[in-house]
Amino acid sequence: MTRLSDLLARQPAGFGIGQLPADRVPTATTRVVCGFCSTGCGLDIHLKDGRAVGLTPSATHPVNGGGACPKGWEALTPLAAPDRATTPLLRNARGKLVPVSWAEALDAFVAGFRTSQAAHGAESAAFLSTGQIPTEEMALLGSLAKFGMGMRHGDGNTRQCMASAVVAYKEAFGFDAPPYTYADFEQSDVIVLVGSNLCVAHPIMWERITRNPNDPEIIVIDPRRTETAAAATEHVALRPKTDLVLLYGLARNLIERGAVDVGFVHDHTAGFTAFAGFVAAFTPERVTAETGVSAGQLERITRAIADGRAVSFWWTMGVNQSHQGVRTAQAIIDLALMTGNIGRPGTGANSITGQCNAMGSRLFSNTTSLLGGHDFADPAHRAKVAGVLGIDEILVPDGPSLAYDRIVEGISTGQIRSLWIVATNGAHSWINHSDLKELLGRLDFLVVQDMYASTETAQLADLVLPAAGWGEKDGTFINSERRLGLIQKVSPAPGDALADFFIFKAIADAWGCGHLFSRWTDPEATFEILQELSDGQPCDITGVRGYGHVEQGGVQWPYPTGSDGPGAPAGADDLERRLFRDGRFYTPDQRARFVFEEPVPPTERPDRAHPLVLLTGRGSASQWHTETRTGKSATLRALAPEGLWVDIHPADATARGIAAGDEVTVTTRRGAVAARAQVTTGVGEGNLYLPMHHPQVNTLTFPAFDPHSRQPSYKHCAADVQPTRPGDPD
C-alpha cells in the first residue's frame, strides 16, 4: 500500500482533497486494474477505513500512465446501485422470485440440478460463463462444473467475442498467443486497424497511439467512418464482410512489389508458396469489384505496408464476429508473417481482446481448452491436470464442450435440460435472443449468478445467486497484452452477496464434492494452483511471486520460474515483452503456418424487402454491453445518447422520406425495432448501424456462425428502415 503522503506528492496542484468532507478524506490507497475492458488500466483506489471513497487512474502503471476512460473513472458507482442482488432469490409456486437464505438457495441449487441430471444424464446440465470474473473464479467454476458436478458442456461469452482469434492463433502459431505489448502502438510507423474502433472500445490504447513519436501512418479498415477512422490517416471504407478479399488482394500486391521478407518466411514459416499461388487470383480489379475499395487506395495501402519499417496489424470484432472470422484473422496473420512484421518492436498480428479477463477465460476457464491452455482430447494433458489437482483422471472429460450456440441448440433438442449462467446477460447479448429467451423458459432448471437481480437473464431464472462484483473481491485478470493484474476488495458486497469464488466453494460443499477443492481455499491459494497448471505451457506463469508481484504494474505471460533471478534470460523481466522475438512459434516444427481459404459470401443476403445491411457494435465509450453496470451511473448515462439511434446514409434516408431525428422502424426477417434516425455519411450507402447496448437490437440479428470458431456473426444481416407508422413497435 502507498501512503497518503506519497499519493498527495504525486497529485497535481488543485487535486482538491482539502475540500472533501472529513469522512471521505482517504487515509490510504491501493492499486487494482479496471474491471471493464481488456486494456487493463491501473486504478488507484483511495480508501478510508479500508473502504473505497474514490479513485484516480494510476500515474505509474505501465498500461495507462495516468489515463482512464469514463468507465474507469466511474468504476465504483455501479456497486452502489439499488437493484443489486442482495439475497438469493428462488421462484416460488406462484412463479415469483422471492428472497431466500443461502442455505435454502444451496439446497434448491443441488436439488434442481440433481433432479434434472438424474432424469436426463449428468451431461444434460451445462454452464455459460464470462470474461469478466477473475481467473481464479473461472477456473473454480469450470472445475466444479466439470470435475465435481459431471457436466461436459460449458462455454463463455468469450465465444461471442474472441473465439475466432483463438482458433486463428492456434492454427497459425500453435497456441492462442497474442504476440504484442502495448509499446508496439508507440513503436510502429504503420498501424493497420481492421474492424476495430479503438477510440470508443479501447480509448486508452488509442491514447497510446497518439503518443507514437513516429508520426505513424494509421490505416483503419471499417465500413463505417468511426471515431477512429476519422482520426486515421487513411480510412478504407470497404463493403461489410469483404475483408478477406481485400486482405488477400493486399497480399498479392505485396508479393508483386517484392515486399516479402524472404529470409523470415524461409526460416520461420510453412505454407507460403501455396499461399502465394492462392492469392494470385485476387487481382486489383477483383478487389475493387468485390470490396468497393478503389485501385488507388489499394495501391496506397500496399505501398504504406511495403515501405513500413515496423508495421503492426490490429483487429477486433469487425473481424472476429463474421461468418468467416477465423480466416479473416488468419489473413491478417499471413500479412504480418510474409512481411516479417512479427517479433520486432512495433509489429505483430495483434488481436485485441474485449473484456477485462477474456484472456483468463481463454486459458483457464476449462471450457474450450482444459485448464492452463491444455487440450481435453490429449491424454497426457488430462493426466497432467488431474495430477496437479490431485483428482482422478476419469473426472476430466476427454473432449471440449459444446460451443455456446450448440448449447442453445441443445436446449431446443432436449440434450441440455438445466443451465447455470454466471456473469453474462445472454437474454440481451446473444444473437437473435428472442429464440434464446423462449428456450431458457423450457429448461428444467435455470440458475443465474449476477451482481444485479434485474438483468434480462436473471428475470428468467428459477434461482438467482447474488454475486459480489469488481471492487468487492480479490483475484487476477489477464489483459489484451497478456498482462496479469490484480483486483482487490475495496468495498463490502451488499447484503448477502458473495464473491463468485465463495459461491462456488459453498456449492461444492453442498454438492458433496468440496474435498476436490480443499486446496482451493481462497483466490491467492488458487492462483498457485493455476501457476502449477501453467508449468511448461506457452502461458507459463510459474515465476510470478504471488499477488504482491502483480499488484503494481502487472506481469505479462510467459513468466516461467527464473524469469527474474540471477541467470534469467535477457529481457525476461522487462516491463513490456512481446512474443516470437526469436522467430520460433509453438507449432511442433516451431514454424508459423499460412492458413487461407476461398472467401464465401455472408449467409443472409439482402433482398427487396430487406435491401440494406445492418451492422452492430459499440455505441460510446461510456456504455458497456448490456449496461447493467454503466447504466447505473448518471455521469455515464449523460455521456451517451438517450434512447436508440440508428445510423442511416443520407441517400437511403432520402429514398425513404426519412429526415434526421425522425422516428423510424428498423426491420429484419426476425422483427422490428423502433429507433430515431441519425442521418450520416458515417455509415456507407446501403448500411445501417445500431449500437448493441439496447436490449431489442439482438431481436434483429441473424444467427450465422463462423464454422471453425462457432463465433456469432453479429455484424451482418439483411434489414430495412422505414418511417414509423401508427401501430409500429415503440
Which residues of this chain interact with ligand SF4, rule CB under 6 A?
34, 36-37, 39-41, 64, 68-69, 71-72, 202-204
The nearer residue to ligand SF4, 356 or 447, going by C-beta atoms, is 356
The residues that bridge with 665 in the sheet, in sequence order, are 674, 722
CB 404, min distance to ligand MGD, A:
10
41 binds, among ligand MGD, Mo ion, ligand SF4, none (CB under 5 to 8 A by kind): ligand SF4
Query: Of 228-236, 349-357, 536-544, 604-612, which segment contacts Mo ion by CB under 5 A?
Result: 349-357
Instruction: Find, among 35, 41, 99, the residue nearest to 491 by Cα.
Output: 35
Residue 636 cell numbers, joined: 455515464
> Residue 619 and residue 599: Cα distance in Å, rounded?
29
The nearer residue to ligand MGD, 272 or 314, going by C-beta atoms, is 314
Given a contact cutoff of 8 angstroms between Cβ atoms, the answer to whether 431 and 140 are in contact is no
316 binds, among Mo ion, ligand MGD, ligand SF4, none (CB under 5 to 8 A by kind): ligand MGD
User: Can you tell me which of 354, 400, 475, 553 binds Mo ion, judged by CB under 5 A?
Assistant: 354
Q: Which distant-in-sequence residues (6+ apart) come within 8 Å of 583 by Cβ?
A: 264, 267, 268, 343
Instruction: Find, among 80, 572, 163, 676, the residue nearest to 401 by Cα.
Output: 163
425 binds, among ligand MGD, ligand SF4, Mo ion, none (CB under 5 to 8 A by kind): ligand MGD
68 binds, among ligand MGD, ligand SF4, Mo ion, none (CB under 5 to 8 A by kind): ligand SF4
Residue 489 corresponds to which amino acid? K
195 binds, among ligand MGD, Mo ion, ligand SF4, none (CB under 5 to 8 A by kind): ligand MGD
CB 137, min distance to ligand MGD, A:
8
Instruction: Find, among 204, 11, 81, 51, the residue nearest to 451 by Cα.
Output: 81
CB 67, min distance to ligand SF4, A:
8
250 binds, among ligand SF4, ligand MGD, Mo ion, none (CB under 5 to 8 A by kind): none
> Residue 403 and residue 159: Cα distance in Å, rounded?
7
CB 430, min distance to ligand MGD, A:
7
CB 164, min distance to ligand MGD, A:
11
196 binds, among ligand SF4, ligand MGD, Mo ion, none (CB under 5 to 8 A by kind): ligand MGD
| 46 phi/psi in degrees, rounded to 5 | -95, 130
204 binds, among ligand SF4, ligand MGD, Mo ion, none (CB under 5 to 8 A by kind): ligand SF4
CB 562, min distance to ligand MGD, A:
34
The nearer residue to ligand SF4, 35 or 343, going by C-beta atoms, is 35
CB 33, min distance to ligand SF4, A:
7
The nearer residue to ligand SF4, 34 or 244, going by C-beta atoms, is 34
Given a contact cutoff of 8 angstroms between Cβ atoms, the answer to whether 514 and 22 are in contact is no
Handedness of CA 500, 501, 505, 506 (dihedral sign): negative
> Residue 576 and residue 435: Cα distance in Å, rounded?
45
**What kind and span of H or E run contains 666?**
strand 663-668
The nearer residue to ligand SF4, 272 or 624, going by C-beta atoms, is 624
CB 336, min distance to ligand SF4, A:
25
CB 433, min distance to Mo ion, A:
16
Residue ranges binding ligand MGD (CB under 6 A): 37, 130, 132-133, 157, 160-161, 194-197, 200-202, 221-224, 226, 240-241, 243, 316-318, 321, 354-355, 422-426, 428-429, 449-452, 455, 467, 469-470, 500, 615-618, 621, 623-626, 628-629, 692, 697-698, 701, 714-715
- For the beta carbon of residue 660, count every other beta carbon within 10 angstroms: 12
Given a contact cutoff of 8 angstroms between Cβ atoms, the answer to whether 400 and 378 are in contact is no
Q: Which residue has the cell 438469493?
A: 88
Q: Which distant-in-sequence residues (6+ apart) come within 8 Å of 9 by Cβ?
A: none
**What kind and span of H or E run contains 672?**
strand 671-679
Handedness of CA 171, 173, 179, 185 (dihedral sign): negative
Q: Which distant-in-sequence residues (6+ apart) come within 8 Å of 25 by Cβ?
A: 17, 48, 53
Binding residues (CB under 5 A) for Mo ion: these are 161, 354
